[in-house]
Amino acid sequence: MLTERRRTSALDRVNRPPSAGFTFLWEWIRSVVVALALFFVIRSFFVEAFKIPTGSMEGTLLVGDFLLVNKLVYGAEIPFTGVKLPALRTPARGDVVVFQWPVDKSKNFVKRIVGLPGDTLEMRQGGLVRNGRPQRESYVSHTAPGSDVSDEEFNWQLDYLLSSSAPHKATPLSSVQVASLEASPRYHPSRNNWGPLIVPEGNYFVLGDNRDNSLDSRYWGFVADSLVRGQPLVVYYSYDPDGAVKLDWLTRVRWKRFGEMIQ
């Protein structure tokens, strides 16, 4: 028979607050879950870290720079859906952007947009010409100005060549393709001399600021708008990599680059 004392004791055990150890564990788990959720949301929709692995943007970005990339500006992608949120603005000429490499989408590249849809682009002796006008690009560096290389990788340009009878005019793609077939025997593009090409709708033409050492649109073509991931904002950490130095990420820090805005 359940006596009054036993009933009271049982109720006390049921209503007893959890132990201090259990409370601490629960609060710790909840904090970790909230922190991970916030990290996922921020990384997916707002800001993501990115490291510069090559010298293709030398002069603006250095090997060993760590960047914070604004993913919201061009419309962040909703994870696992392939759907993008509305963009704050569209990419503009001169923007430095991070994008998925069209050849291998598992890799991210950072370059500068020099051509928008409908632009005609060409290069003469290493100088960019856009819509018939030579461009003054103060951010460009040349590390091997005396050399010029030609490669079969440039042959993709044949499908986008403009007709010589209508230079710097946005000819419909079908006409461009016809003109390219006629021009192909005479067209020998190189790193410093190519075009004129027309940028198709929904795509961008990108170049590295280090024009003599950059694997960019000259070699593999245009970047689709859907592949653009964001715009670098600032260098939050930087060091001078040297495989021969132990802990180079601590001993070869570039303090002056901390907080440098990317333009």
Q: In this structure, what CATH number is given to the domain that contains residue 224?
A: 2.10.109.10
Which residue range forms the structural domain that includes residue 59? 46-261
pLDDT of residue 162: 83
| Total of domains in the chain | 1
pLDDT of residue 172: 41
pTM for the model: 0.78
Question: Which is nearest to 207 in space by CA: 196, 216, 198, 199?
Answer: 216
Could you say which residues of the chain have pLDDT below 50?
2, 39, 165-170, 172-174, 178, 180
Task: Give the CA distances from residue 60 to residues 25, 171, 207, in Å, rounded to whole numbers and listed in that order.
Answer: 47, 34, 13
- Would you name the residues annotated as active-site residues? 56, 111
| Residue 6 is assigned to a structural domain of this protein | no
- Give the pLDDT of residue 188: 86
Is residue 1 a part of any domain in this protein?
Answer: no
Query: Is residue 31 in some structural domain?
Result: no
Residue 147 lies in a domain: yes
Which pLDDT does position 152 carry in this prediction?
Answer: 86
Q: Determine, yes or no, domain membership for 4.
A: no
Closest CA to 114 of 53, 40, 185, 199: 199
In a domain, 8, yes or no: no
Q: Is residue 23 part of a domain?
A: no
**Is 239 inside any structural domain?**
yes
